[in-house]
Each structure stands twice: as C-alpha cells, then as structure tokens.
Structure 1
Amino acid sequence: MPPCPPELIHIIATSAATSALSALCRVSHATRFEAERVLYRAIDLTECTRRVLRAWCKVMKRRVHLPSLVGKLSIRLLRDLETEDGVNLARILTLCVNLKDLSILHPTRRFPTAGIESRQNSSWESVCYWSWLIAAAPFRLDRFHCTGLQLDFLNEKATPSRPDVDFWKNQTALRILSIPDQWQFPIDTDTLSEQPAYLATLEVLETTATAFNLGYILPALRTLHLHVSDSHLEEDLLHAFSHVAIHDLTLERLVIIDHGLGSPSRRRASYIPLVAGLIPTLRHLAITHAPCGTPGTHVAEAQQMLRNLHQLVHLESLVLQFQRPAGPLTMIVADNFDMYALNKPAQARKFGNSVMQRLLPPLARLEVGVAVGTRTPVSYVFTRDSDTGKVVSRTVDGWEWDAAREFMEY
C-alpha cells in the first residue's frame, strides 16, 4: 500500500477530535508528527493540579522536539509550586522558540484588581515574584497576558536583580499586552532615554490608571482597556486620561473598567465628560464594572454621568453597564435633560432611545446593562438601521457585551 499523502494526513489531523489524536500518534511517524503538531500548538494549564503540571514538564523535557511545536501557552502558577517546579518550567520556556501567545496567571485571583491588592510575599504566594521564569525566554511574543509575575522596572541601569530585562528587550513584535494588576508599567521612563522597542508595536493594551502614565506615545495603539479603582487619586486619573488624549490619532476603542469599592465616587460621574473633552475622536467607548465575587464589593454609580455626550461626534458604539449589588434597588441616571430610573424597564428603554436620538449617526449601537441587587442583569440593546435611521431595541438577559471576552477576541 502506498504511503498516505502528507496533505491528507494534515487534513485528518486538523479535523480529528482531540480524543482521536492520541490514537493517530500510534499509526505511523508521519501521522504522529501531524497529531502532535495539533495537540501541542495550544496548551492550557490554567486549571490543572501540580501533579499534572509536573507530568507535562517531564514529557516536554524528555521529548525535546515538542516545545518547538507550542504556539500558545496558558499557565496558572499554583500556590503549592516549589522553586524546583519553577526552574523546570523556565527551562521548558527556553525551548519554546515558536511561542507567540503566553499567559501567566496569578495563583488565586480570577479577576483583575486594578492594583488594589498589594502582593504579599507569603510562603504560598511568593511564586508571584518569579520574574526569572521568563528571563532566558528566546521567543518574540505577539500576545502577553500576565497577572502571576511581579514585573519590575526596565531601565538603562538594570542590575542582576532584574532578570527579565532581556525578555522585554526581545519583544520587538508584541502586539497585545495585558497587565491589569500592575501599579506601574514595567519600564522606568525617568531613566530610559529612548522608547523601548516593545512599545512601538503595541496595538492593544490592558493596564491600570496609574501605570498608563508613560513618557512616550504608543504609535500603533488602537485599543485601551483601563482599570480604575477608588485607590486611584484624581491626579492619577487626570494624568492617565491626558496620556490617552495624546493617542487620539490612532486610538479607536476605549474600555473603562471600574473597580469602585464602597461608597460612590464623585469622579465616576465625570468619565464621559472627561473622555468627551479630551478624546472626541473615539469610535467605540465602554464603561463597565469589574466582575464582582462578593455582593456589595463593586458599586457603579451613574449620577450625571452622561453629560456632554454630544461632543463624541465620531462615536459608533457605546456600552454603559451599571451595577448596584447591594443597597437600595433604585438606580437613577441623570443627564442634561432628564432623570431615569434604570431599574424600571420602561425607563431604561426611554433612556436608551433618548441617547440614540441625541447622538445621531454615526452612533449605530448602544447597550445599557443594568444589574440591581441579586437580580439577573438585563441588557437593553439599541441599534440604528444604516439606511432608514430607524432605532430598533431588544432586551437580553445577562451582559451581552463583556470586556474580558472582547479582549480575548483581539
């Protein structure tokens, strides 16, 4: 029997179920190579135990051709990892020469904190300081998501205590960067005379209000997810939004994720006026809340939040998600013209139609999400027909738009 053509083997391997790929590995050397290429191109170790992680490391060390097949790797640094586990993991990363997408996640946190929680160097969380994990990594990433490492400054006077300096200098093709827990950016603008190479290619960035205070313009930046907390001072916000404003020629999409704790913050009412005044060229704007693990933790107030919407003359889509996990069930939104109780469906629809009428084209889509108390969130979605200009509304249970899901789709 003549050998199976490589093209056919490739089609079989790429279309086979994951459970069938292991069987395909035992058919022949050719089928094994194609099956392994599919099996190992994307590895997700975010939900595995320490035993599984150690077994994976053992296989990758024994079969040295496998790491070069990995294109995407997601790892959660378990709190029971030992230093030896980190050393083995670092060795494997040095072999992943074709890695393009890397996620290193915090041992316990599932959602970003906007830097609210300081990392404590406790016996079970010290893995967060393993910046040496990526020190000798040879790959040039397209995407890097990191909540599990303590990233330090990159500067011209770097010492051996900064083992990740070479990693950042290698990232000359980085397109998407997510560091939502960092109070400071992993560069020191006071000591660097030139813009680091990895900033020049960034198109999508997720960071905090205090970190986004750089001395450089990111020439390719199109999308910014900005995490804001009550711990961020007014001057932090002003500096951050002022820096956002200097990217008005390239920035198209701005997402503000509010991590408000406790009582309402007066600054939250100024988001839209601040954005409208500084960045009137935005095409997409979303203001939302952080995922809330404990009822009553995150509160998004909206008093007078919608002033000056008419300044956003280029806006194509607008998402406003309001949440009050505890307290009175009434949620009032006030603009220049009226007040609306968003907890009442009729009032929420009236509010949405009012915004659509005031923001004439190009605004094509508006989503107003409301969650009050323990009730299921409701999203009121308004779309404008491009031909007739007619506004059509629909109601969706839950959040139709999600910041984390959108970021993963970039």
Structure 2
Amino acid sequence: MKPLLALEDAQERLLALVKPGEVETVPVADALNRYLASPLPALRTQPAYPLSAMDGWAVRQADMPGPWKVIGESAAGHPAHVAVEASEAARISTGAILPQGSDMVVVQEDCTVDGTTLSFHGEPPSPLGRHVRQRGLDFEEGAEVLHAGAKVTPAALALAISSGYAKLPVFRKPKIVVIDSGDELVAAGDPLVDGQIPASNGPMLCALLSVMPCDVTLAGPVPDDLETIVATLESARDADLIVTSGGASVGDHDLMRPALEKVGAALDFWSVAMKPGKPIMVGQRGDQTIIGLPGNPVSSFVTAHLFALPFVRALLGASRALPTYSIARVLSDLPSTGKRAEFLRATQKHDGVEPVSVQDSGALLPLARADALIFRAPFSKAACAGTEIQFIRIG
C-alpha cells in the first residue's frame, strides 16, 4: 500500500500548482478583500505638514510658559495665514496645520484667554512637542505602505487612499465550480425517500469560498454515474478551480478518480495522512486544478479549510495562503494520536479551547457550534487539560 502523504507535503504540492491570473486595476473600493499584485509605494507624505493632535493654541517652545498674544487661528482645512513669532499664539484645532514659527500646542483645558492675552495654568506636556504630529509621522512619499500579496482590508483600503491611490492592482477573481456528488443527495427542500439526505456539502463549500472575492457556481447534486460526472466536469472546463465533494474514496461507487482520468486530468496526489479527510485528491487539467474533497460533511469542511481555501487565496495573490495557527490551553484531556494528523472541532472559551463532545465526521450539529479546529500532530502523546495546543479559528 502506498504510504499516505504528510499534510505539510500535500499542502506544499498543492500550492506549487498555483498560477495566479491576470492583473487588473480596479477602483480602491472594489479592491476590498482582494490581494495586491504589486507593492504600493506612497505617492504622498502623511501628514504633509506638522499638525495639531489637540484643540488648543500653537506657540513656540522657547516662549513657555507664556503669556502670549493671540494673533490668529488655524483650523482643519483652513490653515492660518500668519506666522507665530516670539510671545505670540494662534488658536488651533485638532488636525490643523501648525502656523509657521510654532512648534508646540498647549491644550485648551490648561489655558485661559482674556481678550487677546493667553495664559497657561497647567503642567507643560512632556516632551513639549507631544501634541504635534510631525510631517511624515505616518509615512513618507516613496515608502512602501503595502506589500505585494497584502489583503486589502478596510484599514488597508483607507491607507491606500491616504497614500494617494484611487485604483489598485489586483489579480482577477478566479472562477470556481463546486460539484456535489452522491446517489443519496437531494437538493435542499426537495422531498426525500428512504436512504436520501439533503445535499448540504455543496452549498456549504460555496459559502466558504464566497467569503473571498471569487465567482463560485454550484453544480449538482450529481448522481454516482460515471458519464454524468464526466459531463459535469467537462461543462466546467473554463473554471480555474473545480472543488468536488464525495466520490473521492475507494468504494465501488466512488467514481471521482476514474472520472478525472476520463476527462484528461493528471492526478497529482491522493490520500493524505490526516483525520478527518484522508481521501482528498488533487489533479490538474491544463491550467485548471481539481480538488476532490471527501463526502462526509466534517471531512469536507476541514479539508476545505486546509486545501481549497488556501489554494484560492494563493490564486488571488495572497502572500500567506495557509491558515494561521494560534496557541491556547485545552480545557479537556486529549488522547494520543496515531500516524495521521488530527483536527478536532472545538469552541473557544475565555480561558482556552474546549473540544466538542462528538467528533464523528458526519455530525453537523457540533460542527456548526464549533469555531476552532484543534491540531494534533501525528504520534502526539496524550495531553491533559491545561496543556498548550495549536488551533485554527474557523468562526
């Protein structure tokens, strides 16, 4: 029997198949949650001038502690047209440009004004220029503000705009087809007969993938019929990625592998040393990748997080495609593991991570209540409650 492929090796081989699509330039607002195709150097300096961080008066440090003569005002968007000289002050608001000659701000709570005379009564700020945002405090023109592969989050979107960009270079959205297969599957809401179940994997996978900027189509449910599966695969030739659920094992009705061979897909690997999700398969048809996930819902869900989602992130140009592992204390005892990596459904608590009581790969109720996957490496020793473990957030 061929040895199972280690999880890390399987993920590395999968990501080696990635060929990012064409680069397109889109308006900044349309780039949300996409990944940059090239680094972004700032087109301007922020702030472009020294700004006040507080409401108060702009003065010279050399003139502390006053008094001063008030000679004008600088407001946000309306800079003062006077220069501050010895023993002079200008009223200033938060975000306003410091008038020429001033280099500090005294806050209004520490001052009183009598006519045009400003007096200071508080403790001097330390350092004296504390309430001034110096030119270039955020970034300088030409500095790289976002790297290639960075996700355009709401904060990154704001940074890009502030840096001078109205459009951003990103990779085009990949086209994905999800195929749900199995004789027992019936579309949601359709009547069931004995032995049938609602087809939930396909919609679940579409929902997982649709969180990312991609075009996802569901095909199926498709029966366990070789010619029907082949025809469905053929109809999806223009997709960048096909994700299948079911038929990836070795039973008489597991037809995904022979169907892939029949449409000319070369199998890159099949069967990974992980639990749940051992019968995962990955094939290639030209520039198209096909990821065959197991039919058990938990297995399909877990392998999607470890293979399908990372592959799509990589297609989109993400600098980090694989899931991030966090550390927490486990709140229940864990048994030892065998030769396969294990992923246990769990819930995050304020003091650690608690495995759900039912770990069966067909159980959807505990999966829906879980928001974490505890990772257990192959041949791990039993761990008692309180031991630090690694986990992936899934909620």
Common topology (TM > 0.5): no
**How high is the TM-score relative to the length of structure 1?**
0.23
Q: Whose RCO is larger (CA < 8 A, sep 6+)?
A: 2
**How high is the TM-score relative to the length of structure 2?**
0.23
Higher helix share: 1
| Bigger radius of gyration among the two | 2
